[in-house]
Amino acid sequence: MADESYARNSWYYAILSAFRDFTERGTDPKKYFLKLLDVNIKSNDFFHNVVNEACSSTSFVNSNVDQLERPNAFLLPQGRCCENILFQTLQHFANNKRNGKKYVLSNGLFDTTNANSTLNAFEGLNFFHENFYDQVEITELGKSNPFRGDINLAKLEDFLTKNSKNVPIIVLTLTNNTGAGQPVSMKCIKEVSKLCLQYEIPL
């Protein structure tokens, strides 16, 4: 059933249908995405009905020429492409709303993420967990995990109290690739989310 064509494939419409469920269908989700898991989407009439609905003029999904002139959903082949588009978009909003240097804060920006942020005139700052560089004790393997991929919440909060207006986004890398794949705790994610809501910064 797999179709891994770049830019457009059978599952493109299923994914867009899932987007529609939480962006415009509200209390009446079609759940086509889940239903399509049980059918052969390339030969099934049900799938063609989904495509036809996706291409209707009232759809969230712009189709045919409209999709080329004003696309609103994209499939991209790699994360680094997504990052570049994300930071280009952020740069547009950051230039309109903020003055001075702009920072991307993280628990550990992956190398391409940092490169793309730098390319778009952001400065990436990593607030590593206070135990990030600690030696792993062999005797503790499989017995304990201090979640050393977490962001340093104290440093993050201190930075935000002084510079929140110049932070267009906070990026949590899960797991922390820069930190050799160290895990990040749900507690940390929730705390960062609270700070992002407080300062109105996307996470």
| DSSP per position, 31-57 | -HHHHHTTS-TTT-HHHHHHHHHHTST
154-198 pLDDT, tens digit each: 999 999 999 999 999 999 999 898 888 899 999 999 999 999 999
pLDDT at residue number 125: 97
- The helix or strand, by DSSP H or E, that contains position 84, with its residue range, turns out to be helix 79-97
15-32 pLDDT, tens digit each: 777 777 877 777 888 887
41-98 pLDDT, tens digit each: 555 677 677 777 766 666 655 655 666 666 666 667 788 889 999 999 888 777 655 6
Whole-model pTM?
0.71
Whether pLDDT at 128 is above 60: yes
pLDDT at residue number 136: 77
CB 103 within 8 A of CB 171: no
Query: Which residues are paired to 104 by β-bridges?
Result: 124, 169
Q: Which domains does the chain have, with CATH numbers?
A: 10-69 (no CATH), 79-199 (3.40.640.10)
Phi, psi of 99, deg, nearest 5:
-115, 150
Whether pLDDT at 1 is above 60: no
